[in-house]
Structures are given as C-alpha cells and as structure tokens.
Amino acid sequence: MAKKQKTFRPKARKPRGFRDRLGEEILAEQAMLRRIAEVYASWGFDPLETPAFEYSDALGKFLPDTDRPNAGVFSLTDDDDQWMSLRYDLTAPLARFVAENYDGLVKPFRRYQVGSVWRNEKPGPGRYREFTQFDADSVGAPAPFADAEICAMFAEAVEAAGVPRGDYVIRISNRKVMNGLLEVAGLAGEGFATQRLGVLRAMDKFDKFGAEGVRLLLGKGRKDESGDYTKGAELSDGQTDMVVAFLQATGADNGATMEGLSDLLGASEVGREGISELQAMGEMLGRLGFDESRCKIDLAVVRGLEYYTGPVFEADLTFDVLDDKGRKIQFGSVGGGGRYDDLVKRFKGVEVPAVGVSIGVSRLLAALQARGQAESQWLAPVVVLVMDKGFMADYQQMAAELRASGIRAEVYLGGSGLKAQLKYADKRGSPVTIIVGEDERAKGQVTLKDLRLGKALSGEIDDNKKWREDQPAQMSVRRDALVAGVKEILARY
C-alpha cells in the first residue's frame, strides 16, 4: 500500500522586522498624516509620489553598504539584469525625480511625500525593516532662508501631529561649522577621512554619554556596562579638548551660542560661513516667533547621513513616558533633515541647492500613543443584531440609513444567537447595538442598547429601581427615529 503523502502546510509567520497593524492605530496614523499634510500644503508645498523601487545606482554612494547592491537595502535584478532596490528613504528618489524632470520643473520645486521605506538591517525592539516617513523638501533654494523656513514648518508640523508646544524642540546645527572644527583641530584632508568619521560618531553620542563619555570615544576608546569596547578616534588631548569645548559651547539662547562659536572657529573660512548661516537662520526664526523654546541652535546635532552639506536639524521630544514596566523612557528624535546641495549633482553634474525634512511617522505615533495623545476620532461601528434571518433585508436597510447619515454601521452576519452577538459587538468596541425582534416589530419600534453606558453603570449601580430611574443604557424609539436615536447616544461620546 502506497504511503500517503503528507500535505505541506506553510507556517503562518511574518518576516522578522516587519509587523501587522490593525484598526485604531492605522486610523490614528492617518489622522496625524492629514494634519501634517495640511501644514505642508499651507506653506505652498505640493504632493509627490515616487515608486517603491529605484535602480540601485540611483541610490549611489549613500547606500547603507556599498560593497554589494543588496546590503542595507532589499534588492533584486530586473529582467534586463539591472539591480533595483526598495527605497531606503524618500530623498534619494526625489533627487532622481528632479534630475529626470529638471527642465520642466518650476524652481524652487517644493514637494511633500509620505510613504514606506525599507532597510535591510538587523531588526530589534522598536526597530523595524519597514516604516513610514513624511518628507518635505525645497529644491533650488539656497541657504539660509529656505533652511529657516523648513525648520519653522517642521515645528508647526510636529505641533499639528499632536505634540504640545513646550514638549519638543527643533535642534539646529551646520555641517560647515563641524567641518570648521575639524579643520582647526588639524583633521582636514583626505588622509584623515576615517578619523573624521570617528570624531563625528563620537560627537553624536554627546547627549547619551556626556562630555566624559565623548572624551573616551575621541581618545583610545570606551567600554560600556556590558563590557563591549568601542575603539576611539585616537585624537590627542588638545584635539579632544577642542571638540568637547565645541559641544559645550551651546548656550542658554541662540545669541550666546553664536558668540562662543565665533571664538572657537574664527580661523576657519568654512567655519565662518557656517556661523553666518546659523546666525541668519536664528535671526529669521526669532522674528517669526520661533525662539529657543521651539528652534534652538545646538552644536551636538550631527545627523548620520553623509550627503548633508550645510544646516542640519532634528526634532526631539522632551517629555518622558513610562514603559510597560514603569520605567522612564524618552523617545528623543522623531525626525530631522538638512541641506544636501550635492545630491542632484550626481545626475546633473551641476550643484542644485536643496533642503528638506523627514518625520519618522511610526516613532512619533508611538510616542503620542504612549502618552495617550494619539487621537483617531474613531468610533467602532454600530452593530445591527439579527434576531430573525427572514428580515435580513430590513436589518441591512437600517444599517444603510445609518451609513447615509455618516455613521459607521454593520449587520451581524456570524450566524450566532443574541448573547454571542452582544459579545461580538462588545469585543468590536461598538458604542451602540440595534435590536429588532418580534415585539419591536409589532410596535414599530427599535431597541437601542448603549454598550458603553451599560458597562459603566453595571459597576456603579446596585439598586434596580435606581437603574431604571437614571439615564438608561437601553431605550426604545420609533423605527423612523432610528438615526436620531443613535445620534443622541453617540453625542455622549
């Protein structure tokens, strides 16, 4: 007898670093995106969509890993053997779009774009391989006024997303200022490229490790609490003192910061150019009402991508929240950007000034949810219960009337009895159920059950007489008053 072949059944699982999302989280994100888009549009920016895939050579040297086309990004070959990669941000596709359509675009070209991006990197807690970004960029506008405008709009977008003023700050620095620091520290030239990168990485840890931790990373290296060792940039004591002094030059206000910076970088031409840009940005932002409480010059801002050529900035949330174990956590940066005048040049051969900002939507939404501030304006649907399948068309007509009046509504189609239907509506989070049985039909009425009120009152009222006298969790209305009755209950919420 032939052996019965085992049926292959794939294991239901999602790839590591990716996630499923459901219901209210998605609606909260959509609501937040609409508010941010309204800010971008109000400043004169227009929407743009680009493909999820780009040719890998269009992403160029700014790939996370350039040794192979699919390192750091997800890549495949087209039928003509050309490498294509899922976009890892929205800026590289913008540069390609501008270069491809350069002559036909009105410049400055101002666009905003929201979409998924993908990183082929090791996933971890809160670190996903697919996430959403929301960008706004101005291409063809030189520094520093376009940069100041982007920062001001960035602040308004963060507030529109739901972060109250005072709970965030836009921190601003300038790559030219950093280059000036490296120059006066004796690290200019091709021979110091690796060391410069080490210095910038160490500077980027100032907020996390403080001055002493950065000193170790600028010198021989640093061992963390787990025993892991990070090799340092091997600077001399004098060079280290200079870098730390730079990081500590951030003053109480933008004016004080600029004074201290001039003393440190006065000998560097590129440094003075960066100081001039920061000075102009600070003055313009101040006149627009974006003082240090909203937009602050902070010399510890580095930003990781190599394509930045001038001002850089990021939005930091300044409030703490508690994790599921009651520990304080701070979300920190939820977006950033800067000037990248050389990105379009890869395609055109000429410098095209550009500046932009990117909001990390998933991270910002997670911060708002952790604080209970992610508003979706979402109610679960009203559920019409099915007491008699012979009247299914009537039940569907009721749901249709509710939907026509702008109320989410559905008919229960699961085939279970009344108790199971009520349990279904409760699990759905439904605010109201509609019950029409034989008695209601004979009287020309419908019964409306307020599930939220019923749940609240059940824990507060022990006396049946008081239950009947107080605002009822269940009421009957005429059939032609169905919509008005449901609206009356929904108005409570």
Among 317, 274, 35, 302, smallest CA distance to 147 is for 274
The residue type of 296 is K
Which residue, 337, 370, 403, sits at the end of a domain?
Answer: 370
Nearest to 63 by CA among 19, 120, 102, 101: 120
User: What is the rounded CA–CA span in Å between residue 88 and residue 91?
Assistant: 9
Which one has a higher pLDDT value, 55 or 192? Answer: 55
More confident residue, 124 or 8: 8
- Is residue 255 a part of any domain in this protein? yes
Q: Note whether 310 and 451 are same-domain residues.
A: no
- Whether 206 maps to a domain, the answer reads no
Residue 297 β-bridge partners: 172
pLDDT band at 48 (very low <50, low <70, confident <90, very high): very high
If you average pLDDT over residues 476-492, what whole number do you get? 94
Q: Does residue 190 belong to any structural domain of this protein?
A: no
- Verify that 46 and 166 share a domain, yes or no: yes
Residue 292 in contact with residue 254, Cβ under 8 Å?
yes
Contact 380, 424 (CB under 8 A): no
Residue 59 burial by Cβ neighbours in a 10 Å radius (0-12, 13-18, 19+) = buried
Q: Provide the 3-class DSSP secondary structure of residue 128.
A: coil
Looking at the structure, tell me whether residues 473 and 356 fall in a common domain: no
Is there a single domain that holds both residue 364 and residue 459? no
Higher pLDDT, 314 or 462: 314
DSSP string, 344-374: THHHHSS---EEEEEEEHHHHHHHHHHTT--
Please report whether residue 197 resides in a domain: no
Confidence of residue 62 (pLDDT cuts 50, 70, 90): very low
pLDDT tens digits for range 379-420:
789 999 999 999 999 999 999 999 999 999 999 999 899 999
- Domain termination residue (choose one: 318, 344, 370): 370
Q: Which of 341, 370, 399 is the last residue of a domain?
A: 370
**Residue 63 within a domain:** no
Same-domain status, 140 and 120: yes
Rounded distance between C-alpha atoms, residue 178 and residue 187, angstroms: 11
Are 362 and 463 in the same domain? no
Tell whether 72 is covered by a domain. Answer: no
Which stretch of 45-59, 194-208, 333-347 has the lowest confidence by average pLDDT? 194-208
User: Which residues does 352 contact at the CB level (< 8 Å), separation at least 6?
Assistant: 98, 102, 139, 140, 341, 343, 344, 345
Q: Are residues 35 and 112 in the same domain?
A: yes
Say whether both 460 and 314 belong to one domain: no
310 and 343 assigned to the same domain: yes
Q: Could you report the per-residue pLDDT of 412-444, keeping only the tens digit for each?
A: 999 899 999 999 999 988 999 999 999 999 999
CATH number at residue 167: 3.30.930.10
* 259 is a domain residue: yes
Q: Domain check: are 413 and 364 in the same one?
A: no
Model confidence over 88-106: pLDDT tens digits?
999 999 999 999 999 999 9
Give the residue-averaged pLDDT of 116-123. 88
Are residues 157 and 301 located together in one domain of the fold?
yes
More confident residue, 114 or 370: 114
Mean pLDDT of 51-56: 94
| Cα 425 to Cα 434: distance, rounded to the nearest angstrom | 10
The whole domain housing 252 covers 24-52+87-185+235-370
Number of domains in the chain: 2
Handedness of CA 202, 204, 206, 211 (dihedral sign): positive
Same domain, 364 and 436: no
CATH of the domain at 482: 3.40.50.800
As a whole number, mean pLDDT of residues 349-369 equals 91
- Is 91 in contact with 340 (CB distance < 8 Å)? yes
**Does 75 map to a domain?**
no
pLDDT at 65: 47
